Structure 1
Amino acid sequence: MSPASLANDPPHDATTRLAAVRNRIIRSAALAGRKPQDVTLIAVSKTHGAPDITPLIAAGQRVFGENRVQEAQDKWPALCAATPDISLHLVGQLQSNKAADAVALFDVIHSLDRPSLLNALAKAMASAGRQVPCFVQVNIGAEEQKGGCRIADVPALIMQAREADVPVIGLMCVPPADVEPAPYFALLGKMAREEGLSGLSMGMSGDYETAIMLGATHVRVGTALFGSRPKA
């Protein structure tokens, strides 16, 4: 079964869905000559409530991703209190005025993409006495409608982050839809190597196997684990 078909028609049981995704991670890592434990599965739980999330926690999943700070604030404190070893990742766009809230709640931020946000995160981390690892989000397809740092501006933003003592652990991207993602994943990997970064946050439900083959260290999987998101 292809990743796309898995995303379109996931099994109904959370344990089965999680096992299927983990097995594909293991297989893809093996094909790439990598260790599966070097790939972190982030279960993207945006728009899904506790009844959908707790079965995955019970099945052993511990790393989750959210797109919005407010939504995460509403549902994760209670879930984390019940399961203290949860690691929570912010995988969506972050407004500068939410930087302090994000630093307080999240363990990793995947959407550092501009100097103004960098400054806000630096102040929030200094105030909280908490260093939160960040990925620089790259607008890898140069799409006007998407967030992310321009490719040409990435080295400068990374340098500014290092000077501000904001830990950058890698690069993140979302390739353009409906095109072959492999060239974009390969480009992100090349950029990361040039900057001396080992982290690559890339790959979602339809393409995470390709991303792993090209070096992804973090894959952000939602639909293949939770099914289609509820309609607003």
Structure 2
Amino acid sequence: MLLAFLVSDTTLRLALLLLLASMPFTRLPHHPAMLATGRQTAAPVQLHVEAVELDVRLEPTTYTLAAKAMLGLRSRSLKPLPAIRLLLPAPFAARARIYAVWDHSGFLPWYRARLENDFLIVTTFTQPIRPLGQRWLVVRFDLNFTGFDVPDAPAQLTPHAASLHAAGWYPLPAGVEPSQFQLNKLRLGLRLPRAWRLRSYTESKHLHTGTEFAEYELRAKAVSANTLLFSAYAQ
């Protein structure tokens, strides 16, 4: 009985080996994110934008929007983040002029790169963002609207009118999709030509009227990228 069992067991093992040898080799997905679907998925966004503070000056005669965007960032990474990639999407990529990038440690080195039709700003931190840490990052830039003709764009400026949405016209961390962008808190400091009339769609306050500009402050909570903050026009 024992001899018969060993023979049958050996025969079964040989049969299994021959069957496996005859099967084509298939490479299995090696990344955990690919195991369920067999297709590679996008890497998770490492930085979450918790708050945005904007200072904007509109200069209609030169078609210029001068801005300072302050991004309140929180890391979702368990490792220090030594650098950041900021994306300014089309149609503003070709119209942007970046002047400086800085955080609490001072001005940061940066360079620009093209990513299809978008404008990529890559900067290295003097002090990396610690795991799950927070950081305010500031970008000063201009947008020029000469010859601009994109009716549904989130920012508009002509010699006679202007409008701004909550996002889509200033740099955000690469991987943050503006169409899915949800912002907890936004503040906009706005300077308009004093003769212009403001129509605000969120909480607003008139701060000061000077010889050339009128200054306002707009605040909003729980806004999406397509939220219209204001429109303005010459009287």
Q: Which band: TM-score by shorter chain?
A: under 0.3
Structure number, greater radius of gyration: 2
Structure showing the higher strand proportion among its residues: 2
Structure 2-normalised TM-score? 0.22
Structure showing the higher helix proportion among its residues: 1
